Each structure stands twice: as C-alpha cells, then as structure tokens.
Chain A
Amino acid sequence: MPAPVHGLEGKTALVTGAAQGLGRAIAERLAREGVRVAVNDLEASERTDEVIAATGGIEAIADVSNPEAVEAMVQAAERELGSIDILVANHAYMTMSPFVEHDPADWWRNVDVNLSGTHFLIRAALPGMRAGGGGRIVIIASEFGVVGWENATAYSASKAGLISLTKTLGRELGPEGILVNAIAPGIMDTPQLDVDAADAGVSPEEIRRRYASESPIGRIGRPEEIAATVAFLAGDGSGAFVGQILQPNGGTTRSLG
C-alpha cells in the first residue's frame, strides 16, 4: 500500500514544544511530508539541535508565554521560511497537585503556557497566514481537557480552554480558509508520564503499565500516532474539518470533546 500523502510538500510549519515527545514526532513527520519546519522549544539544547538536524528545520526558541518573545520568534521564522502555513501548538507545561495545595503562581504557569501561549502564537502567525490566503492550526489539547483528571486542575482547565478556543476560532477563522482543529490525545508514551509517575509515587514503568491496562485498546499511545493525526489535519484530505476535537485515546473516552 502506498504511504499516505497529504499534499504538504513545500509547506512551512512551526511546531512548538518540539524538543521531545509529541512535538518531536510531529516535527519529524511533517518534515518527512516535505514540510520546512521551525522547531520551537523553551530553550536551545542538544535535543533541539537533534530535532533540527533530523528535520532539516530551523531553530525557533521562545518561551511561548512571553508575547514579545513569540512575536520575535515568528517574525524570525517567517524571514527564513516565509509565512507559516501550519501552526502546531504542542507546547505544554504540566504540574500536578491537589487543588487547594497547588501554589497559585505555578497553577497559573500551566494556564499561561498552555492557553495564553497558544493565543500569542496564533496572534503572531495569523497575519502571515492571512496574507497567504489560508492556513491550518492544529492545537494539541488533552484527554484531561475533555474528562478532567484528579490533581490536575490547572492543566485540565488550560486544556479545556484550548478546546473551547479551537471551537471558537474554528468558527471565527473558518470563513477565511484558516482551519483550526484540535487533537486531544489520551495517555501517550512521552517524558510527560514521568510527571504522572512522580505524582502517583510509582515508577515510570509502573505508571505505563497501569495506564495501558486502563485503556480499552490495552496500550498507551505512540507519539507517531499523534503525528499522523497532525499530518492529516494539516493536509489536503481534511479540508472539511473545522473546530473539531479529534481524540486518539485508545477508546478511553468516546464523547465528542
């Protein structure tokens, strides 16, 4: 069977939080589809260098919760690549704590990075997308934003906010040919699981085993499966998707988000 083709050759993308986990898989998948990728993360590191080398992309370092830094980053990426056709808002900050014990500053950090950061990114990339006559925005939300999660009020609220942002911007930007959709992954095999393991007081291996057993499909998800979903939402075949929340989660929740 021929490899899936999404008509992405020659497009440009900015992928945030791309040093590891989902972001890295997304950047690498888009690069394989012929996309020129700007690789964002909070700071430059060996990991970002590896992703840039693997994708043939460019470096785009910024703290997405800083609007001035985001503006500067997007402008720099646009100077090198041209306007951004595909924005993948994948960055995330996650800390877990019982609600009343959660340090307020850290609580808000979840929201600042995940929700406000996405707003700043879209605002910065939008003029270029408009000038280019359209674009795709794929927001990586979370199953936590759909069903909630104990000890993750800040993260879950920020991700639910992203889902609502997706629906609203789907309506608002759809008429311009800028299609905004989200993916709410279930439990994925990423370094983020170490946070959950620490919260639960168990080993990373134990948390993976536990989550796999809780999923109807009997395993946790692979970053490549999210990357494939991004490629679909960025590509030719998904032109009628707008404001939708796709939930690759092995069947843990089957609502509409």
Chain B
Amino acid sequence: MAIVTGAASGIGAVVGARLAERGWRVAGMDLRHSDSDLSLQVDVADRDAVRAAAERASTDLGPVSLLVTAAGVYEIVPVAEISAERWRRMLSVHLGGVANACWAVVPGMLASGAGTIVTISSELALAGGGPGDAHYAAAKGAILGFTRSLGGELAPTGVRVNGVAPGPTDTPLLDADSPWRDPDYLKTLPLGRMVRPEEVADTVLFLVEEGTYFAGQTISPNAGAVI
C-alpha cells in the first residue's frame, strides 16, 4: 500500500495513477479530493492530522510500504515581500509535509524492516530559482538535505529513502503565464521543452521497483535545466 501526498493534481496525481496501474493500493493525501483508493483530505503541514490520516490509511488498506511526497505549492514573490507567514507556510508544506509524512510512516516501516520513500523536490533546489523563488527554493533545498540525511540514517534498516528533483514540469502548479513555461526560457534547455509529469512518475517507479541500491540519492529528470 502506498501513500501519495499531493495526489489530487499534477505530479502526485500521475504518480498515484501509475502506481495503481502497477498494482499498488493508493491512499492519496491532499487538501482536495484525490482520485485514489482512499482519498484523505488533509493539510500535510499539520503533523497530527497527517499521522491520523496515515493511521486511517493503514487501517483501511493495510501497512504502508511506500510513501511518495509530492504535495507542494508554488508562488513567485520578491524576497523583500515574503512575509514571515508566507515563508513559514512554504517551509511547512514542503519540508514539514515531507517530515510529517515520514514521522507517520517510518515507525511502521522500521517495524517491518522494509519500506520505500520517494520525496519530490525540484531542480530549483539544485540550482536556485529565478526572481521571487527564494522561499520555494529554500523549502525544496531543505527536502534535498532531509532526503540525503534520512536516506543515510535509514539505509541500514531496509528502508530506502530517495528523491526526485524534476525540472519545470507541465502541471497546474505552474500558471499559464509562468516564466517556466516561457518558450524563450524553454529554448535554453538542452531538450527545449518542459518535463512531462509522466516522466517524473516513471522516475519514481524506477526508484521504487528497481532502484534497490539507491539510498539518500536525488535524481533529476529536468530536460537539462541542471547538469
């Protein structure tokens, strides 16, 4: 059984659908309803709520053997205008969302001696973002560090933690007029196009099904945005 956060749209929705195709039962956590075996409407920034939702998922669908954390928000705000509240919200959803979900599922994985966790960060965690991306890039960078650290910590236990850092991906997270969709920007990428959410999902599937010697790694399908 898999828990996918951010399962209502974008990368999380495609990951959930691909996992279902591959025979997984999927519990989706999202603020909104997700099309999954069990839709859990929860704010991933709320540690207690995530724990309760994960308990519900394992009661209904069985022990959690896979966690994919895709929940995220994105906004462009010049750094001087990022209020403390916005800053904390960005960190709470991304770093907090990942940590909360891990806190909820890792004890069960440790008890069973196996489990797989895949975090979704961003190429902006690797290279930094554009103007107005400071809080998002910081939050995604924090996921990168968290993944490396937890991956090392849990590797001896049989729980594998790795990450995927997608490049600009064609999902509703990016507005129609987002600079990451600008043809002039995309032309600068070696592949000259956005990343398709299916490509991110297939990367997650690889790490889950066959990436058995990856631990604490983050791999980046990014169309060449960060090399």
Contacts and interface: CB of A to CB of B under 8 A. Distances in A.
A244 B214 CA distance: 15
A236 B156 CA distance: 32
Contacts of B167: 240
A226 to B, nearest CB: 8
B76 interface: no
- Interface residues on chain A, size class: 35 or more
Contacts of A221: 213
Contacts of A247: 214, 217
B209 A1 contact: yes
Contact of A242 (B151, B218, B227): B227
The DSSP consensus for interface residues of chain B is loop
Contacts of B192: 175
Contacts of B189: 174
Interface in A203-226: 215-218, 221-222, 225-226
Contacts of A185: 213
Contact of B23 (A2, A217, A250): A2
Contacts of A175: 190-192
Contacts of B199: 237-240
Interface residues of B, number: 41
Interface in A23-59: none
Interface in A76-92: none
Given A167-B227, A232-B206, A250 B213 contact: yes
B206 A256 contact: no
Contact of A240 (B151, B160, B195): B195
A244 B219 contact: yes
Contacts of A226: 213
Given A1-B209, A170-B224, A251-B216, A242 B202 contact: no
Interface of A: 1-2, 4, 167, 170-171, 174-175, 185-186, 215-218, 221-222, 225-226, 228-229, 231-232, 236-244, 246-251, 254, 256
Given A174-B224, A175-B190, 12 more contacts: A1-B22, A2-B23, A167-B227, A171-B190, A217-B215, A225-B212, A240-B167, A240-B221, A240-B223, A242-B224, A244-B222, A256-B126
Interface of B: 22-23, 126, 148, 151-152, 155-156, 160, 166-167, 189-192, 195-196, 198-200, 202-203, 205-206, 209-224, 227
Q: List the 3 shortest-distance A-B pairs measured between CB atoms, nearest first.
A: A237-B202, A174-B190, A251-B215
